Amino acid sequence: MEQTTNQKKVILSGIQPTGVFTLGNYLGAIRNWVVLQEEYRCAYMIADLHSITVRQEPAKLRQQILSAFATLLACGIDPEKSLVFIQSQVPQHAELSWVLSCYTQFGELSRMTQFKDKSAKHADNVNAGLFTYPALMAADILLYQADLVPVGVDQKQHLELTRDVAVRFNNAYSDTFTLPEPYIPKVGAKIMSLADPTKKMSKSDENPNGFVTILDGPDVIIRKFKRAVTDSDTRVCYAEGKDGINNLMTIYSVVTGKTLDEVEREFEGKGYGDFKLAVGEAVSDHLRPVREEHKRLLADKAYLEQVYSEGARRAQQIAQRTLSKVYRKVGFVPVK
Catalytic residues: 118, 200, 203
Task: Specify which residues 45 forms β-bridges with.
Answer: 14, 85
48 binds ligand TYM (CB under 6 A): no
Q: Which is nearer to ligand TYM, 16 or 101 (CB)?
A: 16
3 state SS of 22: strand
Closest CA to 18 of 66, 61, 69: 61
Q: Which of 48, 140, 205, 216 binds ligand TYM (CB under 6 A)?
A: 140
How many whole angstroms separate alpha carbon 146 and alpha carbon 266?
41
Is 283 one of the binding residues for ligand TYM (CB under 6 A)?
no
Q: Is 28 in the site for ligand TYM (CB under 6 A)?
A: yes
Please say which residue, 54 or 303, places its beta carbon nearer to ligand TYM. Answer: 54
CA–CA distances in Å: residue 336 to residues 92, 317, 323, 333: 19, 19, 17, 9
Give the separation between CA 78 and CA 86, rounded to whole angstroms.
15
Residues 147-166 that bind ligand TYM (CB under 6 A): 149, 151-152, 154-155
Task: Rule CB under 6 A: say whether 14 interacts with ligand TYM.
Answer: yes
Site string for ligand TYM, 184-203 (x = CB under 6 A): -----xxx--------xx--
44: nearest Cα among 36, 53, 54, 55: 36
Residue 24 as a binder of ligand TYM (CB under 6 A): the answer is yes
**Given 31, 42, 43, 50, the residue binding ligand TYM (CB under 6 A):** 50
| Alpha-carbon span 329 to 336, nearest angstrom | 17
**Could you tell me what percentage of the chain is helix, strand and coil, using 3-state DSSP and rounding each to the nearest 5?**
55, 10, 35
- Residue in the shown chain whose Cβ atom is closest to ligand TYM: 28
Q: Does 16 bind ligand TYM (CB under 6 A)?
A: yes
Positions touching ligand TYM (CB under 6 A) are 12-16, 24-25, 28-29, 47, 50, 137, 140-141, 149, 151-152, 154-155, 189-191, 200-201
